[in-house]
Amino acid sequence: MTDVARVVIVDDDRAIRWVLERALAQPDLKVECMERADSALQGLLDNPPDVLVTDIRMPGIDGLDLMARVREAHPDLPVIVMTAHSDLDSAVASYQGGAFEYLPKPFDVDEALALVRRAVAHARERQRPVVVPEGLDAEIIGEAPAMQEVFRAIGRLSHSHITVLINGESGTGKERVARALHQHSPRAGQPFIALNMAAIPRDLIESELFGHEKGAFTGATATRQGRFEQANGGTLFLDEIGDMPAETQTRLLRVLADGEFYRVGGHTPVKVDVRIIAATHQDLERLVEDGRFREDLFHRLNVIRVHLPKLAERREDIPRLARHFLAEAAKELATDIKVLTPEAETHLTRMAWPGNVRQLENTCRWLTVMASGREILVEDLPPELRADDGSGTVSGDWRTAFRDWADRALAAGHTHLLEEAVPDFERILIETALRHTGGRKGEAAELLGWGRNTLTRKLKTLLPALADGE
């Protein structure tokens, strides 16, 4: 494959063609300009470029129609749509038609160049085979020592019917662990029923758990089984058990002791055989001390405790989790699997993740929809995630973060750390200095404390795309 990418620009505005042709005059780009879409169409169909840049409003065939016809024959061709009428309808129509990106006029020429390079990288990345991450249907992913302890607990409990209490912050995956405990137990062939205590109004919790008889209260037009009966023979997962009202705690304690209960409004005892797995993000011992949770119920539930670590305590799992969630999101949304660049993967690994695994999963779903290319760059992340330095605040001591990175890299068995760190360190400083000077290399060199020749030499090695020109 040649290193020179062919870019075709279609726009009836001569000034726009002139500006883009000169902005894209780079050693790795070959630019062809055309005035009308109807005369360009057949050539694009017969010999598609690496990237198509087209205006929307033109005489004859408009840009959206041109994009539709070309993409019908070449669905992987990235199309950048330009328009001076940058309204919502134009943006929506562009993306719905499959545009790689939408560029409103007037645009910054550097932005246009960067966007074309992104599109070229996207086109070439599409030609590489995608490897679906192993374990797409895995119950739980985790290679960190803390997660291995969770796996060991699930293994030890695989022949047991014993009550389990799972504790961990919100978003750490407590229900996934509960399902795994059920699926690897003698009850695997029976129902797994989940109920979140925090999501049920207080006056409906007893009816949800134990069911009700017809006429037990207004609206009870028929007898209804509760979650205990639905889970008979299987497992009942009670999430956020710390939010259970005191009166319901008393009834639950009796069920655990006797294995039977009465439906709301009922007079006949119902016998059930149910394994209880409870979960909470709260400190149940503190709730017991404060009188908000029954001590005898706590001891009934706290037979075996499984602790789930925060995502920040298992950072080595983040790349594999992200690949898993990106593959899941692509499957769910019927689209291509997005791939993290090494820089984006490193950034995600260093983040604080206060929302834990759930936040990472939602981020991957967001990126699948919003990232324009197949490769996900750091710049594709939402602004609040780009600013996350892993300390839980937007600002932080970079030296501490750098020391933490070195500790993790050495613990993971990495060698030659200077060869890995120094080029990245210099590249970041150069990019930042050039951004502050608007690309003026002499001023950037002064900001960095280098001579102009030193900056030029570094650019050729670290950022060859920026080495030419002023």
Band (pLDDT 50/70/90 cuts) for residue 192 is very high
Highest mean pLDDT among 113-117, 130-134, 232-236, 402-406: 232-236
In this predicted structure, what is the pLDDT of residue 2? 52
- Residue 128 reports pLDDT greater than 70: no
% of the chain surpassing 70 pLDDT: 90
In this predicted structure, what is the pLDDT of residue 366? 92
Band (pLDDT 50/70/90 cuts) for residue 133 is very low
Q: 173 in the Ramachandran plot: left (φ > 0), alpha (ψ -120 to 50) or beta?
A: left
In this predicted structure, what is the pLDDT of residue 425? 86
In this predicted structure, what is the pLDDT of residue 63? 87
In this predicted structure, what is the pLDDT of residue 1? 41
Cis status, amide bond into 49, omega within 30 of 0: no
The two three-digit tokens of residue 177, written as one number: 């662990």
* H or E segment and range at residue 271: strand 270-271
User: Which tens digits make up the pLDDT trace of 13-26?
Assistant: 888 889 988 888 88
CA distances from 37 to 9, 45, 65 (A): 10, 12, 9
Highest mean pLDDT among 29-38, 387-396, 438-447: 29-38
In this predicted structure, what is the pLDDT of residue 138? 53
Residue of higher predicted confidence among 407 and 369 = 369
Per-residue pLDDT averaged across 98-108, rounded?
A: 82
In this predicted structure, what is the pLDDT of residue 375? 85
Band (pLDDT 50/70/90 cuts) for residue 106 is confident
In this predicted structure, what is the pLDDT of residue 467? 65
- Residue 279 reports pLDDT greater than 90: yes
User: Which tens digits make up the pLDDT trace of 62-95?
Assistant: 888 899 999 889 888 889 988 877 667 777 777 7
Which residues have a Cβ under 8 Å from the Cβ of 195 and sit 6 or more positions away?
208, 209, 227, 236, 237, 238, 239
DSSP 235: E
Minimal CA–CA distance to 239: which of 286, 175, 185, 293? 175
Terminal Cα distance for the chain, rounded:
30
In this predicted structure, what is the pLDDT of residue 323? 92
Band (pLDDT 50/70/90 cuts) for residue 51 is very high
Per-residue pLDDT averaged across 133-160, rounded?
A: 75
Per-residue pLDDT averaged across 390-409, rounded?
A: 60
- Residue 220 reports pLDDT greater than 90: no
Highest mean pLDDT among 111-115, 171-175, 372-376, 387-391: 171-175
The residue with tokens 């360009």 is 40
Per-residue pLDDT averaged across 45-69, rounded?
A: 89
In this predicted structure, what is the pLDDT of residue 294? 94
% of the chain surpassing 90 pLDDT: 34
Mark 209-234 as b/e (b = at least 16 C-beta within 10 Å): bbbbbeebeeebeeebebbbbebbeb
- Residue 428 reports pLDDT greater than 50: yes
- Residue 394 reports pLDDT greater than 50: no
Mean pLDDT of the chain: 84
Per-residue pLDDT averaged across 371-387, rounded?
A: 82
Sign of CA dihedral 367, 466, 428, 323: positive
- Residue 267 reports pLDDT greater than 60: yes
Inter-residue contact 29 to 54 (CB < 8 Å) = no
β-pairing, 270-271 vs 260-261, is antiparallel
Per-residue pLDDT averaged across 229-253, rounded?
A: 93
